[in-house]
Amino acid sequence: MQGVRVGVIGCGYWGPNLIRNFAHHPLARVEAVSDVRYERAVRAGSQYRIPTVTDVADEVLRAPDIDLVVIATPSFTHHALAKTALQAGKHVLVMKPLATRLADAEELCDLAARHGVLLAVDHTFVFTGAVRKMHELITSGTIGDLYYFDSVRINLGLFQADVNVVWDLAPHDVAIMDYLISEPPVSVSATGASHGGSPTENIAYVTVRYGGSLIGHVHVNWLAPAKVRRTIVGGSKRMMIYDDVEPSEKLRVYDKGFSIGGGGAEGDYASMISYRAGDMHAPQLDTREALAVETDNVIQAVLGKGALTVDGMAGVRVVRILEAAQRSIEQDGAVVPVGAGAARKPS
Amino acid sequence: MQGVRVGVIGCGYWGPNLIRNFAHHPLARVEAVSDVRYERAVRAGSQYRIPTVTDVADEVLRAPDIDLVVIATPSFTHHALAKTALQAGKHVLVMKPLATRLADAEELCDLAARHGVLLAVDHTFVFTGAVRKMHELITSGTIGDLYYFDSVRINLGLFQADVNVVWDLAPHDVAIMDYLISEPPVSVSATGASHGGSPTENIAYVTVRYGGSLIGHVHVNWLAPAKVRRTIVGGSKRMMIYDDVEPSEKLRVYDKGFSIGGGGAEGDYASMISYRAGDMHAPQLDTREALAVETDNVIQAVLGKGALTVDGMAGVRVVRILEAAQRSIEQDGAVVPVGAGAARKPS
Amino acid sequence: MQGVRVGVIGCGYWGPNLIRNFAHHPLARVEAVSDVRYERAVRAGSQYRIPTVTDVADEVLRAPDIDLVVIATPSFTHHALAKTALQAGKHVLVMKPLATRLADAEELCDLAARHGVLLAVDHTFVFTGAVRKMHELITSGTIGDLYYFDSVRINLGLFQADVNVVWDLAPHDVAIMDYLISEPPVSVSATGASHGGSPTENIAYVTVRYGGSLIGHVHVNWLAPAKVRRTIVGGSKRMMIYDDVEPSEKLRVYDKGFSIGGGGAEGDYASMISYRAGDMHAPQLDTREALAVETDNVIQAVLGKGALTVDGMAGVRVVRILEAAQRSIEQDGAVVPVGAGAARKPS
Amino acid sequence: MQGVRVGVIGCGYWGPNLIRNFAHHPLARVEAVSDVRYERAVRAGSQYRIPTVTDVADEVLRAPDIDLVVIATPSFTHHALAKTALQAGKHVLVMKPLATRLADAEELCDLAARHGVLLAVDHTFVFTGAVRKMHELITSGTIGDLYYFDSVRINLGLFQADVNVVWDLAPHDVAIMDYLISEPPVSVSATGASHGGSPTENIAYVTVRYGGSLIGHVHVNWLAPAKVRRTIVGGSKRMMIYDDVEPSEKLRVYDKGFSIGGGGAEGDYASMISYRAGDMHAPQLDTREALAVETDNVIQAVLGKGALTVDGMAGVRVVRILEAAQRSIEQDGAVVPVGAGAARKPS
């Protein structure tokens, strides 16, 4: 094979970024693009001299000369489009979230396995230099046991009608959480509210409980006066802050913590605690565009030269948490178990 | 009366600040201080030439020449000490939280009413220039309808053995929330976790639901690598950020928001939304020490020259939320109604 | 005329931004582009379907169907290229600095006047929302009498071989200073240093003295560990900070100051000073791309519909200060008068 | 000797901090304090139960039971007071600046040598954890060759009548510079301006040239809308930023730099430069109060147990630069050599 032949469906906000990255990849060629708004497809197509430009997704999904179908359409269409592509024997990369219902996401995983093709999910933030470095620090043991994952993603933002803020913004945080935390979640609770006539929630808090004392929390908000994108990870050895709004030193690793010692006087708890306040360290991060790292990962996997970093199972795990959060919101914050059948990460 | 005669019980961390402020008030005299660790009482007493210094709280609580008893002891002792003082006909100022159980807090309110004395609670942050300005902007209608209250108070902090982080830090945020929001809460849910052998929760998330779509949320954490103390209030007309870590311009008011317009094309929701991004304004704040403003408020109220800003009912309302949060944590995040008997703010 | 026919010389770093803005302007058409590296010209030309693409600047400079020549080449070529274009009767827009010698800059001004064409200089920062708002606040009297202008522009940056940091970065600050300050400078002194084998200065401090007590200062540095781009303007009524690194609220206006009162006791100077610490205000700024505002200004001026905001005389004034700074550096910081013949701003 | 017997002259702004630190030092006893405003001396004296309290400085300067005289009076009195004390055979600690004229500072040094007593100067910032760490990083070779020292110390500040901003604020920066840079300065130039009727300069820029390409620069300003206290040190191996306004991580060390390589193509300078952008590291700093570290250093030196960190020669070197800056300001920025007789740092 001379390279991976790519077809992209959806040329709206995110599609052109994917097209650009695949077009520039030395082992990929974008052969077809489609968008129901034809002029968008034309604009993308002409910029990269893409042979097939259409407003009929099916022409991409079933085209014989396409190896990889990239789906960058609104969430509610992911399942149907991906299903068709997988059934046509294509490898598929789907934007986040993989699907809007857990059952649909699981079906896509099953289909990919049955047809022997790859199903990748575009959890872009997983491919940033900061998140990859966080993963490395966790897996190397530098952070120690994980205590908590706290993520805030707020701004005065792009209100959307078809999805609420949980399905729009939280996939980023939940995908990072899924990538960094290897154990399965136990339960989810969430609260949201919609304001000013918005038909969907524009602010939400999602709590994810894991076994032991590990806890995850995500705050997403379309209606905040300042932009905050900050993830804090606390561990027994070190703590990290990933601040995506900082122009540089986005990741800071703090050699801080505490320990509870032995021989304190009876009842004198305070004297038993010792705090550790050491250096702060901001490691140099890979500054490549996350999407370039991701498209390379997908291309290499399609070429059989490596594993997908974010496969369909990751997509399923993220949708499981989102769906549980959605159900909790609908039940005024009730705790929703994330059940037995949970897709385990391979160990 | 030549001035208010004050007795202070507890000369630990916070007591000396109260003593200093009452000692410097032109209409108050600190007549007695006590601490079970006698040397602490002596140190405080000698600095301000306080006549009575003792390690027996009762000598202050029942002393005939004391008008106002100030209780700055650990939370679990508040109820018993305040009860004795109220029954002795003293006005009482209690550190936050007013009590560690709702029933106890309510009993103190009842006692104060029955004995015709004042019961004040030290919700210090309510007296900061920033929070008073926020209150002014809300009550004047500048902020519009309240949408959400989001508060984060985290640091690598003083782990405590007798209370968890909810009872230690969240009283500040809940007191601010209570001061700014006039309607009663409907329910509370909370999640917490304890790490590294800590016997109590060192991280917690508390969600407070109000009627309509107003939502409150508090994140408190003793185990964070950086100090964050930030409260965001979203309203229909403006939004505010109170960042207590900033050395200046602690309060920023943003003329930002959105509205959902009428005549958008069918289904074209995005075109119906209009965003407003106007000026940001950081009003000059009263920079007096919050505790000085508070002690003056209490002294004036004792002298019959004004109302308490934070009375026992405010203390009860805060304890009600804290107790509900505690119960929710114990029930793994279950939603706890904050019921019918809720102390309503007077309208 | 159906619109302004534009030819652009230089398709390196900055040229493509100019081409893009002129290409998108409804009253302009880019008819020709050139670059000595032909492939750069081709890349720019093909993206905007520009009719003439060449590696011979002269073909653009003298083409009969070009109204406006835009010169985006290295500084040392500005004079010769602009001279040719002006002599050919073209309107000309030159990147900063207008020329590398004062006499050359002045000659270009004279030529433009003699040929009755426009000479504009690309002082891009003058067209940012922040600088235009600063100008508005100064001219409206809001800031009061100007006291000082202090600008810092440092980063780990693009070392250049042909020019030093003064000629590379300081034109931005000096152009802003020239735009905001209406009176002529009196003298300039500057110090620079080159490090690590660099053939040109990579750090420099430039002080500009005006009449009275107004003082300007610019710190430019290619070798700083963090990016700072901050201009402070102090006035008798208010002070401003323009922080270009901030993602929002780039301009902050402080109602701060002091005054020296009358009746202090003899020798008690401190009691005669009163400080004013009022609100801080971050006005909403025009967020259009500065270059779009600038190209529109140039196009409108060419069409006779308005005056140039930054004309050749502004370019001359900036070069005068840069040349004086250069001479001061060469004389180890000696004070260099900026003489009688200084191009006065029209009043 | 049971400990060092200390007498303090001047109980204004800074004196009480010195008294507190000496009073708490286990090897020192404050035996006498004086202030021309007697009530200030009384207040300080009663707080620490100091035996002798007087408004006559001479009673402290010549008291037989005093080993160390601490002078915390206005700058213009330093010389006369210190001279008397040294002539009386006392060790002396003088607030910054050591004197207001170079000749006076030198005379004090001579006197101390002649009488065999210690002359220390209170360059407080030298004893901060941040500056000591910077010194350690420089002397250990971590920073490499020093390229530049850039310090900004601005705020809306305490205008003073008797000294200008150079003599008031710049001693801090110049003392840090003197402590960090071991080679002698060559020349100084400075510009200042006074505004709003202020009799002395309220803004100033001071440039210090060293041999080679090392350059120092200090910006001090009493009339700035925001508080900045930031020192940047550039070196051949690493760069440092000391930001004293940061609540934590005040010192950041950047593994950044550039080098100019060999084999670039003719004229292709850009390709010869390689930048290095590595990790940023914020070392944990000693958080002891600087003044406590300093008083301990002085006490130990008086007891013969170590050398002074900041001796009279350091005081002379700082005054030399300040005086040269003053002269340059009076000559409108002329370059003032800092001559041959310069007090060399011992090597």
Report DSSP letters for D186-227, one per residue: EEEEEEEE--TT-SS-SEEEEEEEESTT-EEEEEEESEEEEE
- pLDDT (average), residues D33-57: 94
Among A172-181, B162-171, D44-53, the range with the most confident prediction by mean pLDDT is A172-181
A49 CB within 8 Å of a chain C CB = no
Q: Which residue of B has its CA nearest to C284?
A: B279
pLDDT-derived band of residue D172, with 50, 70 and 90 as boundaries? very high
Q: How confident is the model at residue A89 (pLDDT cuts 50, 70, 90)?
A: very high
pLDDT > 70: percent of chain D = 94
* Amino acid code (one letter) for B178: D
Q: What is the pLDDT of residues A209-229, one digit of tens each?
A: 999 899 999 999 999 999 999
B306-345 pLDDT tens trace: 999 999 999 999 999 999 999 999 999 999 999 744 444 5
Distances (CA, A) of B91 to B8, B71, B179, C74: 12, 11, 22, 80
DSSP A343: -
- What is the percentage of chain A residues whose pLDDT exceeds 90? 83
CA of D284, closest CA in chain B: separation in Å? 13
> Which H or E element spans position C330?
helix C312-330
Chain C's closest residue to D239, CA to CA, is C225
Average pLDDT, chain C: 93
CA distance D233 to chain A (A): 19
**Which chain C positions have a beta carbon within 8 Å of A229's beta carbon?**
none
Looking at the partner chain, which of A156, A191, A197 has a beta carbon nearest the beta carbon of B275? Answer: A156
What is the structure's pLDDT at C342? 47
* The pLDDT value given to residue D268: 59
Q: How do residues D315-339 score in pLDDT, each as one tens digit?
A: 999 999 999 999 999 999 999 999 7
pLDDT in the model for residue C347: 45
For residue B248, the chain D residues in CB contact (below 8 A) are 226-227
Q: How near does any CA of chain D get to the CA of B223, in Å?
A: 16
**H helices, E strands: number in chain A:** 10, 15
Least Cα separation, residue B184 to chain A (angstroms): 17
Residue C225 token pair: 């560990």
Question: What's the token pair of residue C122?
Answer: 């690309």
Query: Cβ B280–C277 below 8 Å, yes or no?
Result: no
Q: How far apart are CA D9 and CA D41, in angstroms?
A: 9
Cβ-based contacts of D255 with chain A (< 8 Å): 284
Q: If you average pLDDT over residues B126-130, what whole number do you get?
A: 98
The per-residue pLDDT for D151 is 98
Sign of the alpha-carbon dihedral angle for B136, B142, B146, B148: negative
For B5, B29, B33, B162, the CA distances from B10, given in Å and listed in that order, are: 17, 17, 7, 17
**pLDDT tens readout for residues D109-154:** 999 999 999 999 999 999 999 999 999 999 999 999 999 999 999 9
Tell me the pairing of strands D52-54 and D28-34.
parallel
Identify the H or E element spanning A68. strand A68-71
- Nearest Cα neighbor of C191 from C171, C214, C165, C211 is C165
SS3 B256: strand
Contacts of C247 in chain A (CB under 8 A): 227, 245
Q: From CA D86, how far away is CA C174, in angstroms rounded?
A: 52
Question: Residues of C241-267 as b/e, b for ≥16 C-beta within 10 angstroms?
Answer: bbbbebebbbbbbbbbbbebeeeeeee
Q: State yes or no: pLDDT of C25 exceeds 70.
A: yes
Q: pLDDT category, A270, cuts 50, 70, 90? A: low
Nearest Cα of chain D lies from the Cα of B227 at a distance, in angstroms, of: 9
3-class SS at A228? strand
Q: Is the Cα dihedral B10, B14, B16, B17 positive or negative?
A: negative
Each residue of C182-239: pLDDT tens digit?
999 999 999 999 998 888 999 999 999 999 899 999 999 999 999 999 999 999 999 9
Alpha-carbon span C185 to C167, nearest angstrom: 18
Cβ atoms < 10 Å from Cβ of B208? 26
Give me the amino acid identity at B39.
Answer: E
Question: Which residues 171-230 of B are in CB contact (within 8 Å) with D?
Answer: 226-227
User: How many angstroms away from the CA of D130 is the closest CA of chain C?
Assistant: 17
State which residue of chain A sits closest to C226, comparing Cα positions.
Answer: A248
B253: closest chain C residue by CA: C281
Q: How far is A257 from chain D (nearest CA, A)?
A: 13
Measure the CA dihedral C54/C58/C64/C67, to 10°. 90
Q: Which of B137, B279, B286 to mutate to test the interface with C (most CBs of C within 10 A)?
A: B279
> What distance in Å separates the CA atoms of residue C212 and residue C235, rounded to the nearest whole number?
13
Residue A74 or residue D272, greater confidence: A74
Residues of chain B neighbouring D227 (CB-CB closer than 8 A): 247-248
Instruction: State how far the Cα of C343 lies from the Cα of B150, in Å rounded to an integer.
Output: 56
What is the pLDDT at residue B347?
45
8 Å CB contact between B291 and C285: no
The type of residue at D84 is: T
Q: Tokens at residue D31, please? A: 């035996």
- Confidence tier at B294 by pLDDT (50, 70, 90): very high
Is D40 in a helix, a strand, or coil? Answer: helix
ipTM above 0.90, yes or no: yes
**A269/B161 touch (CB, cutoff 8 Å), yes or no:** yes
Q: Is the Cβ pair C245, A245 closer than 8 Å?
A: no
pLDDT at D262: 60
Q: Do D226 and B245 touch (CB under 8 A)?
A: no
CB pairs under 8 A between A and D: 24
Q: What angle do CA C86, C87, C92 make, to 5 degrees?
A: 10
With cut-offs at 50, 70 and 90, classify the pLDDT of residue A272: confident
The fraction of chain B above a pLDDT of 90, given in percent, is: 84
- Confidence check: pLDDT of C268 > 70: no
The token pair that represents A336 in the structure block: 């929703």
Cα separation, A42 vs C79, in Å, equals 43
Residue D202 reports pLDDT greater than 70? yes
Q: Contact A284/D279 with Cβ under 8 angstroms?
A: yes
Q: Contact at 8 Å (CB) between C279 and B284?
A: yes
- The pair of structure tokens assigned to B202 is 């060192």
| Arithmetic mean of pLDDT over chain A | 93
DSSP state for residue D311 in the 8-state scheme: B
D284 interfaces chain A, CB cutoff of 8 Å: yes
- For residue C250, the model assigns a pLDDT of 97
pLDDT for C85 beyond 50: yes
Q: Is the pLDDT of residue C343 over 80?
A: no
Mean pLDDT confidence for A178-204 = 94
All chains having 3 or more CB pairs closer than 8 angstroms to chain D: A, B, C
Report residue C275: phi and psi, to 5°: -100, 150
Question: What was the pLDDT predicted at C1?
Answer: 47
pLDDT at A241 over 70: yes
Is the distance from CB of C215 to CB of C148 less than 8 angstroms?
yes
The token duo for D164 is: 């200008």
Please tell me which residue of chain A has the smallest CA distance to D287. Answer: A277
Give pLDDT tens digits for B270-280.
667 788 889 99
Lowest mean pLDDT among A183-192, A331-340, B84-93, C73-82: A331-340
* Chain A: closest CA distance from residue D242 (Å): 14
pLDDT mean over C294-312 = 98
Q: What distance in Å separates the CA atoms of residue B272 and residue B259, rounded to the nearest whole number?
A: 8
Contact flag C147-D193 (C-beta cutoff 8 Å): yes
CA nearest to B160, candidates A277, A270, A261, A213? A270
Chain C 231-260, CB below 8 Å of chain D: which residues?
232, 234, 236, 239-241, 252, 254, 256-260
Testing the interface with C: which of B243, B281, B288 to mutate, by most C Cβ within 10 A?
B281
Is the model's pLDDT at D160 over the cut of 60?
yes
Task: Kindly identify which residue of chain B lies nearest to residue A267, measuring between CA atoms.
Answer: B161
Q: Which residue of B has its CA nearest to A237?
A: B196
Could you tell me which chains touch chain C, where touching means 3 or more CB pairs under 8 A? Answer: A, B, D
**Preceding omega of C97 cis (within 30 degrees of 0):** yes
- Which of the two residues, A180 and C270, has the higher pLDDT score? A180
Residue in D194, D196, D205 nearest the CB of C236: D196
Distance from CA of D283 to the nearest CA of B (A): 14
- Residues from chain B that touch C281, judged by Cβ atoms under 8 A, are 279-282
Give A281→chain D minimum CA distance, Å. Answer: 5
* CB A234 within 8 Å of CB A148: yes
- Please give the average per-residue pLDDT across D68-76, as a whole number: 96
CA angle (A83, A89, A92) in 5-degree steps: 60
Neighbours of chain A (3+ CB pairs under 8 A): B, C, D
Mean of pLDDT values over B66-82: 97
Q: D281 and A281: CB-CB below 8 Å?
A: yes
Q: Which chain D residues touch B224 with a CB distance below 8 Å? A: none
C254 to B174, C232, D156: CA distances (angstroms): 32, 11, 11
Q: Is C68 helix (H, G, I), strand (E, B) or coil?
A: strand
CA B158 vs CA A257, B18, B168, B291, D327: distances in Å: 12, 20, 10, 21, 53
Q: Which of B142, B249, B250, B287 best tests the C interface by mutation, with the highest count of C CBs <10 A? A: B249
So what's the pLDDT on residue B160?
A: 76
Query: Considering only A246-260, C199-213, C254-268, D93-107, which range has the smallest mean pLDDT?
Result: C254-268
Q: How far is A125 from chain D (nearest CA, A)?
A: 21
Is the minimum CB–CB distance between B270 and chain A shorter than 8 Å?
yes
Beta bridge partners of D231: D151, D242
The answer on pLDDT for B266 being more than 70 is no
Confidence grade of residue D1 (pLDDT, cut at 50, 70, 90): very low
pLDDT of residue B80 exceeding 60 = yes
What residues of chain C lie within 8 A of the CB of D257, using their CB? 156, 196, 223
Cα separation, D314 vs C107, whole angstroms: 53
**Binary contact (C197, D260; C-beta < 8 A):** yes
Vertex D182, ends D256 and D234: CA angle to 5°? 15
Q: What is the pLDDT of residue C317?
A: 97
Q: Any idea how long chain A is?
A: 347
Give the residue on D whose Cα is nearest the Cα of C154: D232
Helices and strands (H, E) in chain D, number of each type: 10, 15
Please judge whether B258 and A148 are an interchain contact, meaning their C-beta atoms are less than 8 angstroms apart. Answer: no
CA distance A79 to A76: 7
Contacts of D282 in chain A (CB under 8 A): 279-282
How far is it, in rounded angstroms, from Cα C40 to Cα C53?
A: 10
Q: What is the pLDDT of residue C197?
A: 86
| Record: contact B283-C279, CB cut-off 8 A | yes
**Interfacial C residues in 92-151 facing D (CB < 8 Å):** 147-148, 150
As a whole number, mean pLDDT of residues D54-60 equals 95
Residue B158 has pLDDT above 80, yes or no: no
Q: What is the mean pLDDT of residues B285-312?
A: 97
Taking the CA of residue B324 and the nearest CA in chain A, the distance in Å comes to 14
Rounded CA Rg of chain A: 21
